Every structure is written in structure tokens, then in C-alpha cells.
A and B are shown apart, each in its own frame.
Chain A
Amino acid sequence: MLVLTRKLNEAIQISDDIEIKVLAIEGDQIKLGIAAPKSIEIYRKEIYVDIQNQNSEAANVSADLLKLLNEKS
């Protein structure tokens, strides 16, 4: 992982069209501003990981469990 040190109001440019700027530092929280093309999807990491994990779990259903569906309908 590339590690860069930035101060308040300094930014990082990624490629031609993505800018990440440090907007505020308040205690242990850092506010970042991200400017990127609309097609770039940006998520809080823990939320994206949660959805990844949820999808993996949902995909790993055994045929046995599937019987539950039919008992329910």
C-alpha cells in the first residue's frame, strides 16, 4: 500500500479525474472530500465489505436448507 502524509486542505490526485482532499481533522475523525466521475462508486469500506460478506453467505446455501423454503410456502 502506498502511504502518503497529508495536512489539512492538502489533496491526493489519482489518475486524471479523482481527487481526495482532507477537509477537516476533528479529534480522531478525518473528513475527506472525494471528487470523482459519477461512474466511480464510492462506499464506506465496512459497508461494502458487509455487502460482500452477505452475498457470499447467501450464495452458500446448501440444497438441504432450500427445503425450508418449500415447507414455508
Chain B
Amino acid sequence: MKIQTKYLGEVDIEDSTIVNFPSGIPGFVEETEFVLLDIPGNPVFQFMQSVHTSQLAFVITNPYHFYKDYQIELDDVTLELLDIKQENEVLVLTIVTLKDPFLTSTINLKAPIIINQKKMIGKQYILNSDEYPSKASIQSTAEKGV
């Protein structure tokens, strides 16, 4: 099926690549279907594009690329909602808030995007602890040499 995207123009997607977000995500609760799109020539970031709203797309990335020790524990409700049986079904992503200059950009470690990549169900999971901020620097502490 062909969809209009915010950054990549018209893109042909397979229905099987659509991730269902039953309750949307905070601020966008009506948006229940997203698709992950590669950014040409960029292996680190992807777009999380709304299937129904062409102008809604997020830049996302793998949090472990920036914070190797990032650790989260999913609660039972989320495991049930996403029908997660095994760890290898789980894809953990984080939304990037791009800023200029690039190194002032932040990633949201407080509310990662959790996807069951077998069942293609997703949710933005808000952590109950204050361990990780919603605006974590895209420069991990290791890279900053702290």
C-alpha cells in the first residue's frame, strides 16, 4: 500500500510492516498505526511514520547505540498488552528530539517505544522511576568523557 510520508514522499509499504499502537502515544492518542522507515544512507536513525497522518513522523533510534547500559523493566500490563512471551520479540526504540546544533539533540529515555516485532504491536512505555530523563543528551556520558 502506498502512503504519503513527511520526509520521504510517497512510500510503498507492506501491510505486514505496520505496527499497531492500540492507545496511540501520549499527545497523539488517535494515531494507532505507524511504520518504521529507513533513512537512506543513515544506519543509525529511522523514521516512525504515521500511516494515516502524512505530516506526523518521528525520528527514532536504538537507545543502546548511545547508552549501552540502558536498562528497563516492563510491567505485567505492558507484557500482556504487547503479548510478549520472549525477550527476543521485543524491540526497544527511543524518540529523538532533533536540535541544531546536532549535539544538543535529546533522546527520550524516560518513555521508550516498545514494539513486539513478531506481533507488530507497540506502545510508548512511561517508566515509573526517575532513573532516566525524557531529555537525555544524545551524547552519552561516556562520549562526553564524564
User: Which residues from chain A sit less than 8 Å from chain B, CB to CB?
Assistant: 38-39, 41, 43, 47-48, 50-59, 61, 63, 65-66, 68-73
Contacts and interface: CB of A to CB of B under 8 A. Distances in A.
Contact of B44 (A39, A51, A66, A73): A73
B44 A54 contact: no
Interface of B: 7, 23, 25-28, 39, 41-45, 56-59, 76-77, 80-81, 95-102, 105, 108, 110-111, 124, 126, 134-135
User: Which secondary structure dominates chain A's binding surface?
Assistant: helix
Contact of B134 (A54, A61, A68): A54
A59 B77 contact: no
Contacts of A70: 39, 41-42
Contacts of A55: 25-28, 58, 95, 108, 124
Contact of A59 (B23, B41, B57): B57
Given A51-B126, A69-B39, A58 B44 contact: no
